[in-house]
Amino acid sequence: MEINLKIDLNVLCKTIVKEMLEEEGITYELQSSTTVKVLSSPSVEKLNHLAQRMKPYGITIIDDQKEAMVQKIKTIIIDMVRGEGGSLPVNTSSYLSEKLGFSYGYLSNLFSEMTMTTIENFLIMQKIEMVKHLLSTHNLTLTEIAYQLNYSSVAHLSNQFRKTTGLTPSAFQRILARKRATQQA
């Protein structure tokens, strides 16, 4: 017997973090899927215990400020692409600067230094993953997806998709259709 699951990792992580913080008696405010504002002053031992309990779930408390800033950039971009921050902003650099209170030049240099890729490449990868998700789970046209993800045109989306995946969106859809057909047979 096989059970197929659809897991919303964002909800899963938030739930795990909430439960553990509450079990530790730490008063908090969840600011995003990866940022918690601690309202109480927990002891170092309590924080260490919390960190050890979260480790098996792949959740790590980040101590390094640069690493924390990079994680905030990633979270903002992921939330933007998933539509959790409303619609996609036209100017990502201004949006990030405004949200984080630093110049885009600083954020861009830090991100590149820490991840060996650019913010733009990370954004493109997230958008392409969202295109793949929407193509495989929703009955949307490429025009609707291009509009939803702020692409200037369907041609721009298609070119970026092909450069990133090596496939056109149409070829990707054909592969999905064949895969579904084989699974149903």
Every domain of the chain and the residues it spans = 1-61, 65-185
Could you name the CATH architecture of 65-185? Answer: Orthogonal Bundle (1.10)
CB-based contacts of 20, cutoff 8 Å, min separation 6 = 50, 53, 54
Q: Name the nearest CA neighbour of 125 among 140, 115, 110.
A: 115
* Residue 163 confidence (pLDDT): 97
Supply 110's token pair.
């830090």
Return d(Cα 50, Cα 56) in angstroms, integer. 11
* Residue 84 confidence (pLDDT): 64
* Residue 9 confidence (pLDDT): 81
* Residue 157 confidence (pLDDT): 97
Between the alpha carbon of residue 69 and those of residues 101, 162, 183, the distances in Å are 11, 31, 43
Q: Indicate the pTM of the whole model.
A: 0.79
* Residue 86 confidence (pLDDT): 55
* Residue 175 confidence (pLDDT): 93
pLDDT string in tens for the chain (185-residue length): 888 888 888 888 889 999 999 999 999 998 877 888 999 888 889 999 999 999 999 999 998 999 999 999 999 999 889 886 556 777 899 999 999 999 999 999 999 999 999 999 999 999 999 999 999 988 889 999 999 999 999 999 999 999 999 999 999 999 988 988 888 87
CB-based contacts of 101, cutoff 8 Å, min separation 6 = none
Supply 94's token pair.
């201004």
Return d(Cα 112, Cα 122) in angstroms, integer. 10
Q: Dihedral sign, CA of 124, 125, 130, 131?
A: positive
